[in-house]
Amino acid sequence: MSAELNVDHAASVLADFRLTRDWFFSFRWIPARFFRNRLYATSYSSSLESVYRAHSALSPQTHLELTDMTPREYRRRYAEIVAEHNVTLDGGVQRNEETGTAREWRGAKKITLSDLLS
């Protein structure tokens, strides 16, 4: 995925990266519309939809109370939102929402940073 960001978004991404050294966390400043546009582009997939939903739900641009979130908290909440759509963030654990238990799942789709940006 390639997108032109305005100066405000680029500065926010770089400022977060400077503080945290975590690109995944810093890319929360990319507007959710870029992920939404990918959904409606060539091919739809449920994993792209879950990424868009997580990104838009945790965007500090639309939810100002999320600007103070730590990288660890961001990853935890991101993984929860993605897991609701039956896609795991690390490719190894899937949570059962009814029982609250986690189990190994060999068929899990692994989402990496390059998947989000490609």
Residue 1 lies in a domain: no
Tens digits of per-residue pLDDT, 44-70? 777 788 888 888 899 888 887 778 889
Residue 2 lies in a domain: no
> What is the span of the domain harbouring residue 83?
7-117
The list of the chain residues with pLDDT below 50 reads: 87-108
Neighbours of 2 (CB within 10 A): 6
What is the tally of structural domains in the chain?
Answer: 1
Residue 57 lies in a domain: yes
Residue 90 lies in a domain: yes
Question: 44-52 contacts: CB < 8 A, separation 24 or more?
Answer: 46/85, 46/86, 46/87, 47/85, 47/87, 47/109, 47/111, 47/115, 49/85, 50/81, 50/82, 50/84, 50/85, 50/87, 51/82, 51/111, 51/115, 51/116
Q: What is the pTM of this model?
A: 0.65
pLDDT of residue 42: 67
